[in-house]
Chain A
Amino acid sequence: MRSDLANDILQLTREHLVLVGIAMLLAILIGVPVGILLTRHPSARQWTLGLASVMQTVPSLALFGFLIPIPFIGGIGPRTVIVSLVLYALLPILRNTFVGVTSVDPAVCESAIAMGMTDGQLLRQVQLPLAARTILAGIRVATVTTIGTATIAAAIGGGGLGVFIFRGVASVDTTQILAGAIPSAVLALLADWGLGWVERKLSPV
């Protein structure tokens, strides 16, 4: 019985990590480049960041509900979960990328331009390295929240540690709830600590 529970915890933790891992990878692959694009086309900033903020305010269960009937990205199962996790994770990544790049000391950017750097060189050699910490801070916040939000995945058959929680709530079984909640909290803390460490290591100056 005990070892069954331990096995389940391991199995579901693994599922949880896969959900969060894929979602974060996609969110970074979308959020960072879009954030950079916004710094080049400031006119698009208002509505893009606005849209990302609105996404964050939609309750996650409701978002699942909206996504399920949509073809390709919707349906029951992990795919829908990943799509919605990506949507939630986008805002902090997008915003921190934008803020990180735009808050690089204007004197530094101006002298880079005056030295004859192309826009690409300015971005790669100056702005991104100096914004790295801020961007990573956004990724860190997004990862920690995503680990928590991913527990709701179980509601639509996405698996993960939420399975324990929903099962526990349904059968009023505290052990089950804790079996989901504790590992999820530990994952969040580990992610926070690990990414915080990388962030400090990345300190550009």
Chain B
Amino acid sequence: MPLVEFRNVVYEIAGRTILSGVSLSVEAGETLVLLGRSGSGKSTALKLTNGMLFPTSGQVLVGGRSTRDWDPIKLKRGIGYVIQDVGLFPHFTVARNVGLVPRLEGWNDPDVERRVDQLLEIVGMPAADYRARYPRQLSGGQRQRIGVARALAADPALLLFDEPFGALDPVTRLELQQQFQIWQKDFKKTSIFVTHDIREALRLGTHIALLVNGRVEVSTQAAGFSSSASPEARAFLACL
């Protein structure tokens, strides 16, 4: 059973069709990259996955159950989410940001603290140095690492990434992409990763779905993408 499945999903808002009949499935352990231009509907697809939005028609299944049937809070807490502007809470320290979901889930303090230290270690930011800092005292790359640590905190089976490295300089971006590959290998999480960067898609994805105006134009194993005949795929490949 796929961990995430889109069945003919249509999403409309204010008379505009954002997704028109998207079907996708993500098996456990895969990294599906949703590739597409701005406005192609990729971020919307992510928000449909964790129940921030619901389909106008069709179904999004997570763990075999429609997102409409999930307890909305439980669904979100069980899915890690990393966005481009990170959305770290500016008034929380690094430790409090990272420990947020475990704390919401009612873990006791020592467990949360232990988990936070462990996660900071994983993302390469020694707890002793960074625990007590505020997000504004970090560089963009460091904030993004904290964003990843926060998403991993409650050990979710599924992670969603919405152009997480889009705003970083190319060198930092590459570092984080390499880091991401290591995390993927170590934790074997399932991820859906939104990007408009073809290099990033090829580097990180096990599968790639190319979205064009709210439709899946190409859906393939990452290795097969470069042989796709679709004009949009060719346009992306021309960026390489």
Contact = CB atoms under 8 A, between A and B. Distances in A.
Are A and B a genuine interacting pair, yes or no? yes
Nearest to A204: B91
Contact of A121 (B74, B83, B90, B104): B104
Candidate in A108, A121, A126, A130 with the most chain B CB atoms within 10 angstroms:
A108
A105 B87 CA distance: 8
A23 B85 CA distance: 42
A107 B76 CA distance: 16
B235 interface: no
Interface residues of A, number: 19
B91 A112 contact: no
Interface in A112-129: 112-118, 121, 125-126, 129
A111 B86 contact: yes
B76 A108 contact: no
Interface string B68-104: 0000011111100101111111110000000011001
A173 interface: no
Given A121-B104, A205-B134, A205-B136, A112 B89 contact: yes
B195 interface: no
Contacts of B73: 116, 118
Contacts of A205: 90-91, 134, 136
Candidate in B76, B81, B91 with the most chain A CB atoms within 10 angstroms:
B91
B97 to A, nearest CB: 10
B59 interface: no
B193 to A, nearest CB: 15
Given A115-B76, A115-B77, A107 B85 contact: yes
Given A108-B89, A205-B90, A116 B83 contact: no
B93 to A, nearest CB: 11
Interface in A81-126: 105, 107-108, 110-118, 121, 125-126
Contacts of B52: 110, 113-114
Interface string A114-155: 111110010001100110000000000000000000000000
Contacts of A108: 87-90
Interface in A63-90: none
Contacts of B134: 205
A52 B85 CA distance: 36
Interface string B27-63: 0000000000000000000000010100000000000
Nearest to A114: B81
B71 to A, nearest CB: 10
A171 to B, nearest CB: 55
Contacts of B75: 116
The 4 closest A-B pairs by CB, nearest first: A111-B87, A116-B77, A116-B76, A107-B85
25 contacts: A105-B90, A107-B83, A107-B85, A107-B86, A108-B90, A110-B52, A110-B83, A110-B87, A111-B83, A111-B86, A111-B87, A111-B88, A112-B87, A113-B76, A114-B76, A114-B81, A115-B76, A115-B81, A116-B75, A116-B104, A117-B104, A121-B104, A126-B89, A130-B91, A205-B136
Given A111-B86, A111-B87, 15 more contacts: A105-B87, A107-B83, A107-B86, A108-B88, A108-B89, A112-B87, A112-B89, A115-B81, A115-B104, A116-B74, A126-B89, A130-B91, A205-B91, A205-B134, A205-B136
Interface of B: 50, 52, 73-78, 81, 83-91, 100-101, 104, 134, 136, 150
